[in-house]
Amino acid sequence: MDFQYGCFVHAVLLAFACCAVTCGAQNTTSGRSLLQSGLAQTPPLGWNSWNHFGCHINEDVIRETADALVSTGLSKLGYQYVNIDDCWAELNRDSNGRLVASASRFPSGIKALADYVHSKGLKLGIYSDAGYYTCQKQPGSLGHEQVDADTFAYWGVDYLKYDNCYNDGSKPENRYPKMRDALLSTRRPIFYSLCEWGLDVPATWARQIGSSWRTTDDIEDKWESMISRADQNNEFAQYAGPGGWNDPDMLEVGNGNMTPEEYGSHFSIWALMKAPLLIGCDVTSMDKKTYGILSNSEVIAVNQDPLGVQGKKVNKLGDLEVWAGPLSNNRVAVVLLNRSNSRTIITAKWEDIGLNPSAVVRVRNLWRHRELEANHQGSLTASVKPHGCKMYVLTSVSH
């Protein structure tokens, strides 16, 4: 590892370590912090119902999705969370003030569904809101944090997405810790995903509260929406790392309104940014191209790299961009992104991506699953399709 690159990694890891100590000291509930629970040492992988199904969900959809994650082999690649989004509950709590699953959509109840998902070796996620109502006007958890956390733990829930609709106007910094403390008091490990849409810049304060935090508004299945979320999330790279992750929202890969090239760019950038990789399509009917993107084990490995440093945009020339980030074992991940409407040559220079300018590197193309024939020194150049990308891992063979 050269001096420049080594100092960069050391500084990032030192910042994470200091943050972990500070956050652990501030969160005394049950004598544990979310970081110490070990849930978010790498970004979460899984599936969420909202982007494709919206409110059209039921227990059959969830069971069939769990089955498909296993049968397609996606679960073996790390996709473990099966997350129910909004619209799962009855409009009224029961006589004890507890949330109740919709009798028509989830007649077996959430506990039985969690048992089924667990039997597949997977984990179940659920959704609530730090307001009086969810975004679809079902009961929220504001003022009911402890009873809801206890309910989720009893059901066997493993992940909570916590939204921000219909709140009381107070700062999310004050509302979100209440659910954190309630979850910790249950002593069940539950991944806590803060979804306040980046309004109060949660990257700067949420590490002591949750396992991930949204840095953007909701994503749409459009190139412009996706790429703008990447730009926004890029601004907060310094705040992500083992124990807590920036979240530019869920994946749209396979939902049909972008091209395969655009979906490949979407997945590559999300992986490089160490974003949660939560599939948002119908995995029971995805086509081969969608599966090929979501199942790329080499791209997933970049996302799950134990060093846990978020890659970021390191050079930009008009619509031509170089994104990069350090990986474990003295490696660097690089994405050459073409935001223009025509095929273009893009070059990544060693000084931009944290390598010694004289370093000789071995280059592996992650989408072609092969190493380039010749080693490279000083720079890497490739021709990139419109709205497409090339993704590589570079390994130094000399300094």
Band (288; pLDDT cuts 50, 70, 90): very high
The SS3 of residue 284 is coil
Q: Does residue 203 share a domain with residue 79?
A: yes
Specify if 17 maps to a domain: no
pLDDT of residue 398: 79
* Residues 127-183 pLDDT 10s: 999 999 999 999 999 999 999 999 999 999 999 999 999 999 999 999 999 999 999
Q: Does residue 322 share a domain with residue 231?
A: no
Q: Does residue 231 share a domain with residue 116?
A: yes
Q: Does residue 329 share a domain with residue 299?
A: no
Q: Which of 11, 40, 70, 28 is nearest to 246 (CA)?
A: 40
Among 279, 304, 329, which residue terminates a domain?
304
The tally of domains found in the chain comes to 2
Q: Does residue 347 share a domain with residue 284?
A: no
Catalytic residue flag (residue 218): yes
Provide the CATH number for the domain around residue 374: 2.60.40.1180
Q: Which domain holds residue 331?
A: 312-396
Q: 158 Cβ partners below 8 Å, 6+ apart?
A: 81, 114, 123, 124, 125, 189, 190, 191
Specify if 238 maps to a domain: yes
Write down the catalytic residue from 158, 163, 247, 305: 163
Q: Are 391 and 268 in contact (CB under 8 A)?
A: yes
Q: Which of 335, 341, 267 is nearest to 79 (CA)?
A: 267
Specify if 30 maps to a domain: no
Specify if 295 maps to a domain: yes
H or E segment at 248? none
Distance CA 136, CA 143 (A): 18
Among 304, 339, 372, which residue terminates a domain?
304
Q: Does residue 357 share a domain with residue 279?
A: no
**How far does the chain reach from its first CA to its final CA, in angstroms?**
8
Residue 195, both tokens: 């979804």
Tell me: pLDDT of 192 over 50.
yes
pLDDT of residue 33: 54
DSSP string for 319-361: TEEEEEEEETTTEEEEEEEE-SSS-EEEEEEGGGTT--TT-EE
Specify if 290 maps to a domain: yes
Q: Does residue 119 share a domain with residue 77?
A: yes
Q: Is 399 exposed, middle or buried (0-12, 13-18, 19+ CB in 10 A)?
A: middle
Q: Does residue 244 share a domain with residue 328?
A: no
Catalytic residue flag (residue 163): yes
pLDDT of residue 37: 63
Specify if 335 maps to a domain: yes
Q: Are 280 and 250 in contact (CB under 8 A)?
A: yes
Q: CA angle, corner 279, sides to 273 and 285, nearest 5?
A: 145
Among 247, 270, 304, which residue terminates a domain?
304
Q: Does residue 282 share a domain with residue 190?
A: yes
pLDDT of residue 26: 39
pTM for this predicted structure: 0.92
H or E segment at 85? none
Specify if 292 maps to a domain: yes
Specify if 29 maps to a domain: no
Q: Does residue 186 share a domain with residue 161?
A: yes
Beta bridge pairs of residue 214:
247
Q: CA-CA-CA-CA torsion for 334, 48, 82, 270, nearest 10 degrees?
A: 10
pLDDT of residue 92: 98
Tell me: pLDDT of 360 over 80.
yes
Distance CA 113, CA 63 (A): 7
Give residue for tokens 């790392």. 241
Distance CA 296, CA 309 (A): 20
How many other CB atoms sit within 10 Å of the CB of residue 329?
Answer: 11
Q: Does residue 343 share a domain with residue 296?
A: no
Write down the catalytic residue from 67, 181, 218, 352: 218
Tell me: pLDDT of 298 over 60.
yes
Q: Which residue has the higher pLDDT, 399 or 222?
A: 222
The SS3 of residue 232 is helix
Q: Are 254 and 48 in contact (CB under 8 A)?
A: no
Q: CA-CA-CA-CA torsion for 165, 191, 330, 230, nearest 10 degrees?
A: -20
Tell me: pLDDT of 102 over 60.
yes
How many other CB atoms sit within 10 Å of the CB of residue 25?
Answer: 10
pLDDT of residue 105: 98
Q: Are 263 and 235 in contact (CB under 8 A)?
A: no
Q: Is 158 exposed, middle or buried (0-12, 13-18, 19+ CB in 10 A)?
A: buried
Provide the CATH number for the domain around residue 48: 3.20.20.70
* Residues 301-337 pLDDT 10s: 999 999 999 999 999 999 999 999 999 999 999 999 9
Q: Does residue 378 share a domain with residue 295?
A: no
219-225 long-range contacts, Cβ below 8 Å, gap at least 24? 219/51, 219/248, 219/249, 219/250, 219/252, 220/252, 221/51, 221/252, 221/255, 221/256, 221/257, 221/258, 222/257, 222/258, 223/258, 223/262, 223/387
pLDDT of residue 34: 52
